[in-house]
Amino acid sequence: MSNNIVSKLKRKKIEEVIKTGKRMDGRELLQYRDWQIKTGFLEKSEGSAEVRLGKTHVVVGVKAGIGTPFEDSPDEGVMMVNAEFTPIAHPTWEPGPPPDEAIELARVVDRGLRAAEVLSMEELGLVSGEKVQMVFVDLYILNYDGNLIDACSAGALAALNTAEIPDLKVSKGEITQTDKKKKLKLRAHPIAATVVKIGDEFIVDATVDEEEIMDGRITVTLDENGNVNAMQKMGAIGFSVDEIKKCINIASEKAAEIRAKVMAVTNG
């Protein structure tokens, strides 16, 4: 990807090691770093999750609010996913408008959740055409060491799965707050798994160094029934149809593993 002399040397070294079936940090090609997932650690958010995947560290906050529905879906609630690349996360990240990568991250995570119909949007409707409940999912990157999509996807699912939003009463178009909260009901549990191609080899859970020198990657989001909910190919290379199949197979297996970890934490 980037083309300075340092990354060419880096690429050579990383490629050499990967050809031996190992990674620079000693992992297998298809092995994730250790996951640490914590939920419900923020009092003022309706849902929260902290995910550490190796040195990658993200916080996902779910906030609920009341807003106006979109014109073409007057009775449906609104879910929005946004990613924030904070300058404390990496030396090359700067304050300012979100870079393309942040937009892509948010949209890929969003697409997985939306396509799997995770939230029942009709249940979030309040007053037709006027008021609906909004669910904001903010992906906050605190330390960047690669594989943000998988970390954020797992974090978003964990945060949503433990979120409790205000139980609002509606009568004659009037919305009244109650003290009660209700759990967000999730209809599916999609998880994104990203397969990275370096040379002829495929790896998962790439570090920042591996991402810098990778040729391309395919993210596949799958639900618990093994259905594909979203895919996204990135990087300026082509994949053969067989390679895509291979990526889907790898992602399918890995997504199931990650989901088991997320569910173990959130169903406590």
Partner 1 sequence: MSKTRKRKTSKKWERVDGRKPDELRPIHIESGVLPNADGSAYIEMGRNKIMAGVYGPREMHPKRLSKPNQGVLRCRYHMAPFSVDPRRSPAPSRRDMEISMVMRDALEPALFLERYPRSVIDVFVEIIQADGGTRCASINAAAVALADAGIPMKDLVAACAAGKYENNLILDLGDYEDKKGQSDMPLAYMPKFDKVTLLQMEGIMTQAETDEAIKMAVEGCKKIYEIQKETLKKKYGMVQGEAAAAEETPEEEPESPEEPTEEDKPAEEEEQ
The footprint of partner 1 (CB under 8 A) covers: 3, 71, 100, 103-104, 106-107, 111, 114-117, 216, 218, 223, 226-241, 244-245, 248-249, 252
Spatial distance between the Cα atoms of 189 and 69, rounded to a whole number of angstroms: 25
Closest to 188 measured CA to CA, from 136, 135, 225? 225
Q: Which is nearer to partner 1, 130 or 167 (CB)?
A: 130
- Structure-token pair, residue 163: 């979120």
**Residue 44 Cβ, how far from partner 1 at the closest point, in Å?**
26
Strand 131-143 relative to strand 78-85, pairing = parallel
Spatial distance between the Cα atoms of 109 and 49, rounded to a whole number of angstroms: 15
Closest to 211 measured CA to CA, from 20, 53, 26, 2? 2
**Residue 4 Cβ, how far from partner 1 at the closest point, in Å?**
8
Calculate the dihedral angle through the C-alpha atoms of 203, 209, 212, 217, rounding to the nearest 10 degrees: 20
Contact 29, 201 (CB under 8 A): yes
Q: Which is nearer to partner 1, 18 or 234 (CB)?
A: 234
Q: Which is nearer to partner 1, 38 or 233 (CB)?
A: 233
Can you say whether the dihedral through the CA atoms of 11, 17, 19, 23 is positive or negative?
negative
Q: Which is nearer to partner 1, 143 or 232 (CB)?
A: 232
**Residue 125 Cβ, how far from partner 1 at the closest point, in Å?**
19
**Residue 100 Cβ, how far from partner 1 at the closest point, in Å?**
5
Contact 94, 87 (CB under 8 A): yes
Q: Which is nearer to partner 1, 30 or 88 (CB)?
A: 30
**Residue 152 Cβ, how far from partner 1 at the closest point, in Å?**
15
Q: Which is nearer to partner 1, 166 or 235 (CB)?
A: 235
Spatial distance between the Cα atoms of 217 and 205, rounded to a whole number of angstroms: 11
**Residue 215 Cβ, how far from partner 1 at the closest point, in Å?**
10
